[in-house]
Structure 1
Amino acid sequence: MIARILTLFLVLALGAGLAPAQAQDGPLRIVIDEGVIEPLPVAVPDFVAEDARAADYARNIARVVAADLAGTGLFREIPEEAHLTTVTSFASPVQFSDWKAINAQALITGAVGLDGSGRLTVKFRLFDVFAEAPLGDGLQFGGPATSWRRVAHKVADQVYSRITGESGYFDSRVVFVAERGPKNARQKRLAIMDYDGANVQFLTDASALVLAPRFSPTGDRVLFTSYESGFPRIYLMDVASTRRRALDEQSGTMTFAPRFAPDGQRVVFSLSQGGNTDIYMLDLRSGQRMRLTSAPSIETAPSFAPDGQQIVFESDRSGSQQLYVMPVTGGEPRRISFGQGRYGTPVWSPRGDLIAFTKQNKGRFHIGVMRTDGSEERLLTASFLDEGPTWAPNGRVIMFTRETSGAQGAPSLYTVDITGRNLRQVSLQGAASDPAWSPLLP
């Protein structure tokens, strides 16, 4: 299985356009010119309840771990009814022959305890079944029982990381616009959820139109655009308290499309005044504003590179909507999109190697990615309306809005791997749009 894991990691690297990596345990290098990912069979038996009160948590945590892994498209859970043995003690030796017989290549075992104060303790181990050896040390997580899903996501992140060599993304949240009502009179509220659509909480009411929420680098604040004054205006909200304040209130202007800098202390956004729309940067500490573009065209949807040194944005200065990159200090932008159609809503990958975007061409909308110089463009989706990509914290998965056509059409949230595989709809009640992924939670 170790060889299989290395091969899986290299296929992942190839799909992301990365150079094959050196194996951690030796100098072996394997060059893969082409490959298809076959999901890795993994067994996730119910975790052992260390006392009766923990029984439901033990089963539910194991189910979330399994769902996280299977949802990536890289793993296939072997159903419980196929198991030949039952794990009844976390300390008991693993009967590897029973798991080999059902072709489980990875095995996850765990145990859950619940103390009198309502605090959970969750232990887990990951095994390479065919090598009959653990993959890394066992780990233990703790937290209040109400946070059991977070604990499960943390376990899944550890498993994902050990097998793929990449950081996980399950213990994260998404802020989005929850929608309801008819298409021509839709109400919109800011909401937040776990990455998989669970634990939805509303951050605003439906009294004013809200758009384009964006997380801070620490995940504790959100920028968004609201029309509560009758014109678009940027607001900054503290997620825990939902307290908010307007930013850069200047008479006669409209502000929108905000996004944090990697340091969390600056905000880049579009400002419209006198019929002209340019990109500005605001220092949240001093309130000082700096203009970054000055052109008669429309400049909007700015996004920082992870190192904070460059900004990608969309502009129609060439006569159609295209993507440009410029230094964070301003200066002459460099066009990076040259394919057919129009490009918008660019977002720099957390890894710094790719830019995701929305593309409209021949009546179809696409989510795509390209290198930061515009090369190697790949379209990952195609539909009546796909737009607004946002990156998972590890730069492996993109979430976006897909809207169906017709009078009854409504938006939903979808995810897709950066290879274009594993397109999935996020499970939510009601319509949703404008997702923005948080960093991994602390």
Structure 2
Amino acid sequence: MMRGHFYPVLRLAALALAGLLMAVQSALAVVEIDITRGTPKPVPIAVTPFLGGSPQDRQTGAQIAGVIQADLHNSGLFQAIDRAAFIERIADISRAPRFADWRLINAQALVVGRVVHEPDGGLRTEFRLWDVFAGKQLAGQQFFTRGQNWRRVGHMIADVIYQRLTGEKGYFDTRIVFVAERGTKDARVKQLAIMDQDGHNLRMLTSGRSLVLTPRFSPSSHEITYMSYESGRPRVYLLNIETLQKEVVGDFPNMTFAPRFSPDGRHIVMSLQHGPNANIYTMDLNSRQTRRLTTTAAIDTGPSYSPDGRRIVFESDRSGSQQLYVMNADGSGQTRISAGQGRYST
């Protein structure tokens, strides 16, 4: 399965908080997580229900706060404080909270927010992240999107909080693409499927009438490359996630394995079988021209680009057992990188 980013939001705007709230303190913040250690102690964090002027606003605000709390708690780095323990009831997020009340329940970080449903169907969500022990605001943003995207807003806020407190980019505003199976043992149906990283918003992308394999997101996360036997032959397809429009980018007479995008999205790399052997090829997605990178009488498979796109790692049994190799993106400089007594590296 593969993880990628969400579809675009209508608008995302950072709030200008100068003059209204305390300045963000980055270098001197008390709340820090050392993620280089194996088992960091979870940081106690309080996520209050987001305020709203109408019952609909308050319901959505509670749902968004629930998503934020679940995301942070499930990361293993945060411990959500039971709301029954809250002493202060937030009534205005533009004012600093009573930090002493939150220290009494051992909250190190505090999240507050409010939600407004606009007349045009839009949703405006605002939040603040406070360092309770330092008495400082760490983050504050405002999001504008469609009302039905409230779950995504929660994930985006959780990402901001995660990055601000850990220094690492959050992963909550992402989706997973995978092959879903159903049916009996003798009549299995396989479909491409996509869902939020927390399992919500599951959606099938293909009908299940043909075998599908190895889905991978493009760098933009708007498209998926995958293998299908829709025509009875192995083909590489590109699928637009939102429109479900697909196109064939490779029609090969023999087996094709695990197509993957280059980091710039301009090429895909894959393994093509010729007789008993398989070699690594790249395809230019504009010209649809393929280029062979390996020429061994072996099975070379499982290629993947390095993050900068300059090198490719792959598996090969050219040494007598399956090992890992790396080469330049043009096929030069092929070098074995796995070692030891193991007979199988992947």
Q: Please report the TM-score for the alignment, with normalisation by the length of structure 2.
A: 0.88
Tell me how far apart the structure 1 counterparts of residues 160 and 326 of structure 2 sit (CA, whole Å). 35
Tell me how far apart the structure 1 counterparts of residues 280 and 186 of structure 2 sit (CA, whole Å). 30
Q: Assess if the C-alpha contact under 8 Å between 2:31 and 2:131 holds in 1.
A: no
Aligned partner (choices 139, 150, 159) of residue 148 of structure 1: 150
Shift of 1:276: 2.0
Corresponding residue number in structure 2 for 1:52: 55
Tell me how far apart the structure 2 counterparts of residues 318 and 342 of structure 1 sit (CA, whole Å). 11
Change (3 A) 1:56 1:3: closer
Identical-pair percentage: 47
Aligned partner (choices 335, 343, 347) of residue 345 of structure 2: 343
Corresponding residue number in structure 2 for 1:310: 311
Q: Which amino acid letter does the alignment assign opposite residue 273 of structure 1?
A: H
Shift of 1:131: 1.0
Q: Which amino acid letter does the alignment assign opposite residue 56 of structure 1?
A: Q
Corresponding residue number in structure 1 for 2:91: 88
Corresponding residue number in structure 2 for 1:134: 137
Corresponding residue number in structure 1 for 2:285: 284
Q: Assess if the C-alpha contact under 8 Å between 2:30 and 2:133 holds in 1.
A: no
Q: Which amino acid letter does the alignment assign opposite residue 192 of structure 2?
A: L
Q: How does 1:242-281 map to 2 (within 5 A)?
A: 242-250=244-252, 252-281=253-282
Secondary structure in 2 aligned to 1:306? coil
Tell me how far apart the structure 2 counterparts of residues 292 and 4 of structure 1 sit (CA, whole Å). 52
Q: How does 1:336-375 map to 2 (within 5 A)?
A: 336-339=337-340, 340-344=342-346
Shift of 1:156: 0.7
Q: Assess if the C-alpha contact under 8 Å between 1:212 and 1:225 holds in 2.
A: yes
Secondary structure in 2 aligned to 1:135? strand
Q: Deviations over 1:56-91 (max 9, x none)?
A: 110000000011111110000001111112212223
Change (3 A) 1:4 1:232: farther
Tell me how far apart the structure 1 counterparts of residues 123 and 106 of structure 2 sit (CA, whole Å). 32
- Structure 2 regions of 5+ residues with no counterpart? 1-24
Q: How does 1:1-400 map to 2 (within 5 A)?
A: 5-6=31-32, 8=33, 11-12=34-35, 14-15=36-37, 36-136=39-139, 138-250=140-252, 252-339=253-340, 340-344=342-346
Q: Deviations over 1:120-179 (max 9, x none)?
A: 11110011101111113x210110110001111111111111111111111111111111
Q: Assess if the C-alpha contact under 8 Å between 1:234 and 1:256 holds in 2.
A: no
- Structure 1 regions of 5+ residues with no counterpart? 16-34, 345-442
Secondary structure in 1 aligned to 2:169? coil
Tell me how far apart the structure 1 counterparts of residues 343 and 254 of structure 2 sit (CA, whole Å). 30
> Greater shift after overlay, 185-194 or 39-48?
185-194
Tell me how far apart the structure 1 counterparts of residues 145 and 292 of structure 2 sit (CA, whole Å). 46
Cα RMSD (Å): 1.7
Q: Please report the TM-score for the alignment, with normalisation by the length of structure 1.
A: 0.69
Secondary structure in 1 aligned to 2:251? coil
Q: Which amino acid letter does the alignment assign opposite residue 199 of structure 2?
A: G
Q: Assess if the C-alpha contact under 8 Å between 1:233 and 1:256 holds in 2.
A: no
Shift of 1:215: 0.5
Q: Assess if the C-alpha contact under 8 Å between 2:300 and 2:317 holds in 1.
A: yes
Tell me how far apart the structure 2 counterparts of residues 173 and 285 of structure 1 sit (CA, whole Å). 26
Tell me how far apart the structure 2 counterparts of residues 134 and 92 of structure 1 sit (CA, whole Å). 11
Q: Deviations over 1:356-409 (max 9, x none)?
A: xxxxxxxxxxxxxxxxxxxxxxxxxxxxxxxxxxxxxxxxxxxxxxxxxxxxxx
Tell me how far apart the structure 2 counterparts of residues 44 and 316 of structure 1 sit (CA, whole Å). 52
Shift of 1:51: 2.5
